[in-house]
Amino acid sequence: MAEQYQVSGRTAADIVTSVEAGIRLNHLAPGTTLPPVRRLAADLAVSPATVAAAYRTLRQRGIVETAGRNGTRIRHRPPVAHRAAEPLPDGVLDLTTGEPDASLLPDLTIALARVDTTPRGYAHASVLPVLEQLTRERLLAEGIDGDITVTGGALDGIDRVLSAHLGPGDLVGIEDPCWANLRDLIAALGQRMVPVPVDECGPTPEGVAAAIRHGAKAIVITSRAQNPTGVDITATRARELRDILSRHREVLVIEDDHWAELSQAPVNVVADAVDNWIFLRSVSKPYGPDLRLATAVGDPATIARLKGRMRIGSGWVSTVLQELVVELMADPATADTIARASRRYRSKQRRLCGALADHGITAFGDSGLNVWVHVNDETSTVTALRDRGYAVAPGARSRIESPPAIRITISGLPEDRISALAEAVAAVPGNTSPLA
């Protein structure tokens, strides 16, 4: 409880610092409700305006969120200090990570041996021409054309583009449910989220149209393997979304194709239906999370702004890393490894979704690393599954207005435990009943 930690300070800045310290020292846990403005003002003998200003700053930094009648509470992952995952009990299978199976990633040994390690300086701070050419050829084959650069991963690109185009308080339409890291980023930027529902075909046209009507200046969508639902945008849905966006060309559209070469479905691009757009393709899932690089294609103005933001920040993506990615992109053995991994992930998703459906449980998972499972109550399901030897992620981290669910990462799920896991989910009271 917040009462166990006494927030202190005479100024708004002091109060902010006190709350941040409470989080760093684990005295203020995620979900903790802070005292009401007037009560804390009375306790600290300051004006309510001072406390309100402090709470406003904390919200803009993504540290707290307003929970309606429940007051102001600490966000589930406040950007103050890294909270390491709590160790699981012995015998509990971790299905929460959202990470690829390390045994299915390409061996970097040969590619690393081919990388030119000649020392280079600031004069080489740009996109390697060979990487730009390879990227352009692949994108043109998929009907995507524009200016090209590289970023330090998909989230890095989204961060810099949103920072360059939008300001604090601006509205951003995001998928619901969504990638939890994206929620954290938007909160940290001081921007506000507008939920766009996702169904089995992708973001709904009605949801995108509603977000724009509500004043969203940007829309962030996922091409394939949407996290957490695993949904791919279908060709029909892409046409519907493009039709809506083409009538609102002033809206910035950011499209994330993180599943990239692992995808078995063709990409149906939406972003370039507007004037300012960017399409990001990360290498983290097919090549490995430690390779922090994403290629970015977009209109000239958006790419120029992205480059400008990088120039005054990290500067550029390491040319050594770029060369490594070039080697991997051109390596037939790496392509074979990625194809094998794609088949393995898809097989597990189908089997788990099928096993859950046999119990009358709704689950999504067209592609990607996760299966999104509708449940009656997240807390009871997560607790019951842990007692049965399975750690899964509660859907609350990814949901805005969508109904309760859990996220199961299938990359670390053994084939011979799929049926037992489905039975464990079904054994939780309420999960096999039709949901309202």
CA dist., res. 71 & res. 65, Å (int) = 9
- Would you place residue 104 in the very low, low, confident or very high pLDDT band (cuts 50, 70, 90)? very high
Residues 292 and 365 in one domain: no
Residues 323 and 372 in one domain: no
Residues 319 and 339 in one domain: no
Q: What is the mean pLDDT of residues 101-116?
A: 93
Its domain, for residue 376, covers 93-103+334-427
Each residue's pLDDT tens digit, 19-49: 999 998 889 988 899 999 999 999 999 999 9
Residues 416 and 296 in one domain: no
Residues 31 and 166 in one domain: no
CA dist., res. 156 & res. 310, Å (int) = 9
pTM for this one? 0.87
Q: How distant, in Å, are the alpha carbons of 107, 284, 333, 370 from that of 101?
A: 13, 12, 18, 12
Domain end (from 330, 351, 369): 330
Residues 177 and 286 in one domain: yes
Instruction: Please report, for the domain that includes residue 188, its CATH number.
Output: 3.40.640.10
Residues 348 and 281 in one domain: no
Residues 316 and 340 in one domain: no
Residue 409 has pLDDT above 90, yes or no: yes
Residues 310 and 350 in one domain: no
Residues 121 and 134 in one domain: yes
Domain end (from 300, 330, 360): 330
C-beta neighbour count of 118 within 10 angstroms: 8
Domain end (from 301, 330, 359): 330
At 79 the pLDDT is 80
Residues 347 and 396 in one domain: yes
Residue 83 has pLDDT above 70, yes or no: no
- Would you place residue 102 in the very low, low, confident or very high pLDDT band (cuts 50, 70, 90)? very high
Residues 325 and 339 in one domain: no
CA angle 163, 126, 290 (to 5 degrees): 70
Instruction: Please report, for the domain that includes residue 407, its CATH number.
Output: 3.90.1150.10
Q: What is the mean pLDDT of residues 264-270?
A: 95
Could you tell me if residue 432 is inside a domain? Answer: no
